[in-house]
Structure 1
Amino acid sequence: MKLLLSLLTGLCLFFQSADIEALRNSYAKANQSVTNTQSFIDLTEKQSSSDAVTSAYKAAAKIMEARITKEKGKRKSFVKSGATSLENIIKSNPNNAELRLIRLSVQENLPKIVGYHSSMKDDKTFILNSYSKQNTGLKNYIKKFASQSKTFTAADRALLK
């Protein structure tokens, strides 16, 4: 019985990590084009998992939807809804580096006029301080983000070994 339970748990974790990798890859490309943004939004809508990381990507997708919507009146509500969800998820999971990375990337890519930029410095510091404790997949994701980020300096990037 314990063996069966262990196998089921292992399978669930394997498929969940595959889903997270797909979300990470799609999210990394989402800002490159409207098609990529829509693909990322569609991918998040297909996710059935309700874990914190998946929920944070769904919140980011809601914010990105403001970029591609044709209805100008909806843009503000998409950003507000997504930002509120993202903040609540991080408030419930303050020690999750991937959640902080998602928020940092969202805040970095939003226009300053939106006013959603207050956590960038704290998130960058948290990511740098907790980097060594992360798994290899997340470390690579953080390095990839930092390499193109306006928030991370050359000195910051050097800390990500």
Structure 2
Amino acid sequence: MKFLFSIVATLFLVFQGGDLEALRNSYSKANLSNEGAKNFIAVADKTTSSDPVISGYRAAAQILEAKVTTEKNKRKTFVKSGASALESLIKNNESNTELRVIRMSVQENIPKIVGYSKNVKEDKIFILNNYSKQNAGLKTYIRKFAMQSKTMTAAEKNSLK
């Protein structure tokens, strides 16, 4: 019975990890083009996990819907619902660094007129202070994000080793 449980648990972690890696990969390309954004949205829509980080990527996908939708009156709704979901996730998981990376990247890239950019400095400080505590995979992901970040200075980028 223990053996069966360990197999099921391992399969769950592998598939969940696969979802997370697919989300990370597609999210890193989402801002490069509308096709990249649409691909990320499609990948996020296929995930069903209740993991807070995966839910964070789904919230970011909602926000990105505003970028690619052809229905202009729905843009505000997409941003509001995605931002609200992301803020709720961060409030309930305050120590989760990846959620802060997601929010910082969204806020860096969303047009300033939208008014969703108040946490960029706070998230940057949090990410820099908690970077060393992350696993190797997340450290690599954070370094890649930092290298293209508009907010992080050269010295801050170099501190992420």
Q: TM-score normalised to the size of structure 2?
A: 0.97
Residue matched to 2:73:
73
Residue matched to 1:154:
154
In the alignment, the residues of structure 2 paired with residue 125 and residue 17 of structure 1 have an alpha-carbon distance, to the nearest angstrom, of: 27
Q: Describe the superposition over 1:2-58 as per-residue Cα deviations: whole angstroms up to 9, x where unpaired.
A: 232222212211111111010000000011111111111111111111110111101
Q: Which runs of 5+ in 2 are unaligned?
A: none
Larger mean CA deviation between 5-14 and 132-141 belongs to 5-14
Residue matched to 2:55:
55
% identity of equivalent residues: 61
Trace 1:1-161 onto structure 2 (pairs within 5 A): 1-161=1-161
Q: Describe the superposition over 1:61-107 as per-residue Cα deviations: whole angstroms up to 9, x where unpaired.
A: 00000001111111111101100000001101010000000000000
Which runs of 4 or more aligned residues in structure 1 lie more than 4 Å from their structure 2 counterparts after TM superposition?
A: none
The secondary structure found in structure 1 opposite 2:30 is helix
The secondary structure found in structure 2 opposite 1:50 is coil
Q: Which runs of 5+ in 1 are unaligned?
A: none
Larger mean CA deviation between 38-47 and 2-11 belongs to 2-11
In the alignment, the residues of structure 1 paired with residue 19 and residue 134 of structure 2 have an alpha-carbon distance, to the nearest angstrom, of: 18
RMSD: 0.8
Q: Describe the superposition over 1:87-131 as per-residue Cα deviations: whole angstroms up to 9, x where unpaired.
A: 001101010000000000000001111111111111111111111
Q: How many equivalent residue pairs?
A: 161
In the alignment, the residues of structure 2 paired with residue 87 and residue 65 of structure 1 have an alpha-carbon distance, to the nearest angstrom, of: 17
